[in-house]
Amino acid sequence: MAMVSCAVVKSVGTNPKGEELTRLEALPNYKNGAFENLAERADSTVKHNLLFHRRPETIRPSRALPWVKTDLNTLVATAPTIVWFGHSSLLIKTGQGNILIDPIFSNHAGPIPGIITAFKGTTNYHAEDMPPIDVLVISHDHYDHLDYRTLKKLKDHIKVAIVPMGVGSDLVYWGFNPKKIIELNWDQSVTLPGGLRFTATPAQHRSNRTYNKENKTLWASYVIQAGHYRLFYSGDSGYGPHFKKIGQQYGPFDLALLECGQYSPNWPWTHLWLGQAAQATVDLQARLLQPIHWAKFKEADHPWNEPIEKLLPAAQKLNVQMNVPCIGEPYTLGDPPKKAVWWNFN
């Protein structure tokens, strides 16, 4: 029991303090003790009474999701090849190195196991399955994107970690070498020795690993350049003019990896709502959309497959091409998009 309690406390992480905090306080997007979005919005939250609220019966899938077992160590990438593990966890194999984004392989989201559990069929990939990681990319500090138990296992197999400002404090607290951590503010870039270039770009979201300390670390989306390919990863972000600005400044993109699920009136502007990922793809000037942030965890009271069901017609209306692979199914840029309807069950 003591070991479990210790792991729970450790998984909470730690906010920047001392010299690290002083450095953040000098940043233009850090004001009044917290990071701010580009356009602060009043939170028109409609709180649900969880005791009496009726959730749809289809909030979790009735059976295991289909998945594909891929040997990630022998996978050949003639062009950037993306493997999705459900939710927002992604491996991108490129000629310049392996990129692992927001990995969560502990099969639950949160400091305590058993509260937000992964759907059946989404738990077949583990930290041990990952190839050597040239770059770990973290979008923000929420538990479903920054997972202590996963990173503890991967730590010694990661060459460098790229994180938003302040998130490095968690990694150092968990045993990462500070020299292997690169913190970026919005619109800051880094080019690694192998040639991969990363730019942190704005997102409309928030951060916190405890309820009483919000927005002490930054949240970000990313532009990823691998050779002549450009990819965009949204992290978590509500819709706003920042997508068009990113498209104008850094686009066009070969692929946009955009969140599409876990929207709720409880957090009305921090996630993309039904179909908004299609409009964001147009704004970004992206040739192909792959939806993420769905099909692994129940974090909002919508049917588990509603995000993709509602996104498809929105994408068709805007003439947006979509790629929707199964979990673990590799997709290489330039290949025909994956279009098999594998989610059509409750």
325 vs 46: which has the higher pLDDT: 325
Beta strand ranges found along 22-110 (DSSP E): 30-31, 34-35, 81-84, 90-94, 97-101
pLDDT single digits (tens) 152-180: 999 999 999 999 999 999 999 999 999 99
pLDDT attached to residue 55 = 61
Which pair of tokens denotes residue 152?
A: 């503890």
CA distance 82 to 90: 7
Over residues 137-148, the mean pLDDT reads 98
If pLDDT is split at 50, 70 and 90, which confidence band does 9 have?
Answer: confident
2 vs 27: which has the higher pLDDT: 27
- Find, among 103, 99, 190, the residue nearest to 151 by Cα: 103
Over residues 134-154, the mean pLDDT reads 98
Over residues 49-74, the mean pLDDT reads 81
pLDDT attached to residue 114 = 85
CA distance 262 to 300: 5
If pLDDT is split at 50, 70 and 90, which confidence band does 1 have?
Answer: very low
Residue 289 has pLDDT above 90, yes or no: yes
Residue 86 has pLDDT above 70, yes or no: yes
CA end-to-end span of the chain: 37
| Sign of the C-alpha dihedral computed for residues 205, 84, 253 and 132 taken in this order | positive
If pLDDT is split at 50, 70 and 90, which confidence band does 8 have?
Answer: low
Residue 4 has pLDDT above 50, yes or no: no
CATH of the structural domain 72-332, one choice from 3.90.1150.10, 3.20.20.60, 2.30.250.10, 3.60.15.10: 3.60.15.10
* Average pLDDT of the chain to the nearest whole number: 93
Residue 121 has pLDDT above 90, yes or no: yes
- Find, among 269, 275, 204, 236, the residue nearest to 109 by Cα: 236
